[in-house]
Amino acid sequence: MPYKEREIEKLYYSIGEVAEMFGVSKSLIRFWETEFDILKPRKSSKGNRLFTKKDIDNLKVIYHLVKEKGFTLDGARRKLKETQPTQLEANVDIVDKLKAIKSFLIDLNKQL
């Protein structure tokens, strides 16, 4: 069986990398950190924020609620409290997959 190289996943991401992933500013990420209790990135000895995969998953949920669904910050906080975080993450994953399918179908239609 041939050796299959795994994709290396980082343990920690800087605030700049996270902001770039979501297409938002670093200050918005810092603001959301103060507004939502589920965001608790580690801080290095220099005070730099280090985001884990779980933090990024939580940010996906927050981004989806605030930017895509149009929730206010209070509404997003309430939604996070009343719904299981895993259920919200699953919903965000489904939306991401549907967007990928839509993009694929649009590209396919252009080729025809």
49-96 pLDDT, tens digit each: 999 988 998 898 899 889 988 999 999 989 888 877 667 777 777 877
Please, is 58 exposed, middle or buried when counting C-beta atoms within 10 Å of its C-beta (0-12, 13-18, 19+)? buried
* pLDDT higher than 70, residue 2: no
Question: What CATH code would you report for 13-111?
Answer: 1.10.1660.10
* pLDDT higher than 90, residue 25: yes
Phi, psi (rounded to 5 degrees) for 26: -65, -35
Query: Strands of 49-51's sheet, edge to edge?
Result: 13-14, 49-51, 42-43
Q: What is the pTM of this model?
A: 0.72
Predicted local confidence at residue 85, as pLDDT: 64
* pLDDT higher than 50, residue 1: no
Do residues 44 and 50 touch, judged by C-beta distance below 8 A? Answer: yes
The DSSP bridge pattern shows strands 42-43 and 13-14 to be: unpaired
Task: Dump pLDDT digits (tens) for 27-49.
Answer: 999 999 999 988 889 998 998 99
Mean pLDDT, range 8-32, rounded to an integer: 90
Predicted local confidence at residue 23, as pLDDT: 92
In whole angstroms, what separates CA 68 from the centre of its chain?
12
CA dist., res. 15 & res. 53, Å (int): 13
